[in-house]
């Protein structure tokens, strides 16, 4: 029988995608007010990998990735995703559509995990309507992607950033 052990804490990570006319610093400030200081960040970068968000958020989106200093318990991920969804609602554009998309997750020694409200075959239900997916795994000295890993998380510049942020 396996021995039940307490898991190690992880680094909270968020990806903030936003319209060019949105003051993304307001969203970052709202995040740091709750989750503390930023350890490191990457971007903003052009989000050109997909037009999935185009109908709702428009074209020419930017994305900013943040890693926070304070480590968290993995069990907090559902409540953090619920909170970031609430922040998105607070920052709705005048047209009633999202101006910002905030995707939280965490960085562990061996993986990057993202939270989602959408179920899919590779996602595990955490509770409260929130799912988690391992987006990248760390093996043999580098991050490796899966068939479902979003293209921006596979980009060499993002992987360099993530390697430096790895606990």
Q: What is the pLDDT along the chain (167 residues), one digit of tens a residue?
A: 899 999 999 999 999 999 999 999 999 999 999 999 999 999 999 997 777 776 788 889 999 999 999 999 999 999 999 999 999 999 998 888 899 999 999 999 999 999 999 999 999 999 999 999 999 999 999 999 999 999 999 999 999 999 999 99
Domain that holds residue 55: 10-165
Domain count, the chain: 1
Indicate whether 2 belongs to any domain. no
Indicate whether 27 belongs to any domain. yes
Give the pair of three-digit tokens for residue 111.
């993986």
Q: Please, are residues 49 and 152 in contact by the beta-carbon 8 Å criterion?
A: yes
Return the pLDDT at 54: 67
Indicate whether 85 belongs to any domain. yes
Per DSSP, the three-state class of 160 is helix
Indicate whether 4 belongs to any domain. no
Indicate whether 66 belongs to any domain. yes
Pick left, alpha or beta for residue 69 (phi over 0 → left; psi -120 to 50 → alpha; otherwise beta): alpha
Indicate whether 21 belongs to any domain. yes
Cα(4)–Cα(8) distance, integer angstroms: 13
Indicate whether 1 belongs to any domain. no
Indicate whether 103 belongs to any domain. yes
Cα(111)–Cα(29) distance, integer angstroms: 26
Report the number of secondary-structure helices (H) and strands (E) in the chain.
Answer: 4, 8
Strands 100-108 and 124-127: unpaired
């Amino acid at each position: 029988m396996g021995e039940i052990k307490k898991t190690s804490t992880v680094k909270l990570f968020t990806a903030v995608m936003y319209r060019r006319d949105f003051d993304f610093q307001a969203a970052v400030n709202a995040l740091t007010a709750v989750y503390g200081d930023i350890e490191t960040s990457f971007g903003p970068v052009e989000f050109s990998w997909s037009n999935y968000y185009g109908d709702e958020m428009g074209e020419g989106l930017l994305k900013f990735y943040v890693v926070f200093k304070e480590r968290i318990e993995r069990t907090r991920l559902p409540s953090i995703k619920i909170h970031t969804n609430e922040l998105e609602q607070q920052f709705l554009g005048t047209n009633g559509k999202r101006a910002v998309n905030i995707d939280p997750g965490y960085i562990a020694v061996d993986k990057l995990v993202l939270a989602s409200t959408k179920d899919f075959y590779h996602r595990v239900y955490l509770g409260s309507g929130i799912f988690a997916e391992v987006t990248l795994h760390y093996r043999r000295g580098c991050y490796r992607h899966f068939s479902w890993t979003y293209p921006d998380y596979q980009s060499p510049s993002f992987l360099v950033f993530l390697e430096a942020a790895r606990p």
